[in-house]
Each structure stands twice: as C-alpha cells, then as structure tokens.
Amino acid sequence: MAKLSRREARIKRHQRARKKIVGTPEKPRLCVYKSLNHIYAQIIDDSVGRTLVAASTNEPELRAKLESTGNKEAAKEVGLLIAKRALDKGIKVVCYDRGGWIYHGRVAALADGAREGGLEF
C-alpha cells in the first residue's frame, strides 16, 4: 500500500471526522482551514448549507492590527473576531471542526480565542 501524502492524510482525517460532526441551526459547526500564510474560520449550518459567520486573517481590519498573519497570535485574533460576530448573530454554542488538522498550534489558538470571546464548544 502506498504511503499517503500529508495533504491526503489530512483530508482522510477530515472526512472521518465529518461523518460525526454536523452543524445544526441550534449548534452550528465552527470550521477551520489554514494555509501557510493565513487562517480562516466559518460557522456553518449544514442543514441548509449556509455560512452564518466568517472571519480570516485576510480581512483588512486584522491585517492592519497584526504584524504576521501566519502565527498563533493571528489565529487567536481570528478566534476572538469570529466569537464576537457569532454572539452578535445570537450564536453561543458551536461544534468545533478542526478540518483534519492536529489540535495544536494555530488550530488550538483559534479555539482558545473563540472560547475567550464567549463561544461554547
């Protein structure tokens, strides 16, 4: 059996987790994606397939505040921002979808920022 690349292994982990993690109107899914330079977060209601809230380090308000967009401090700011936007829309409880990434570094920092901002998961 051929060895999977890192990307293929992450996608396989994500598919395995997505069998169990489903966003509902009462408890939407907080989905995380990261690239080398940025991190993105969305709160999604899977029952209608709609993104309710989104935040990323690509946004001008965060880019002006951050010196680097690819580190843990930037991820924590995205977590705080998405929590603020979610609370403004009345979303308090979410299920965390780490996207197949290991819960460490930027992925964990985003989750900590969202918890500090007031989200529960």
| Domain assignment of residue 84, yes or no | yes
| Domain assignment of residue 111, yes or no | yes
* Residue 2, pLDDT score: 78
CA 110-16-70 angle, 5° bins: 25
* Residue 35, pLDDT score: 95
68 φ/ψ sector (left φ>0, alpha ψ -120 to 50, else beta): beta
Tell me the angle at which helices 106-117 and 72-88 cross, rounded to the nearest 10 degrees: 30
User: pLDDT tens, 45-59?
Assistant: 999 999 999 999 999
| Domain assignment of residue 53, yes or no | yes
Residue 25, pLDDT > 70, answer yes
| Domain assignment of residue 104, yes or no | yes
| Domain assignment of residue 1, yes or no | no
| Domain assignment of residue 30, yes or no | yes
* Residue 101, pLDDT score: 94
> Is the CB of residue 46 less than 8 Å from the CB of residue 22?
yes
Q: Report residue 1's pLDDT band, with 50, 70 and 90 as the boundaries.
A: low
- The CATH number given to whatever domain includes residue 69 is 3.30.420.100
Average pLDDT over residues 35-64: 95
The tally of domains found in the chain comes to: 1
| Domain assignment of residue 93, yes or no | yes
Per the structure, the complete domain to which residue 106 belongs is given by 6-117
Q: Report residue 14's pLDDT band, with 50, 70 and 90 as the boundaries.
A: very high
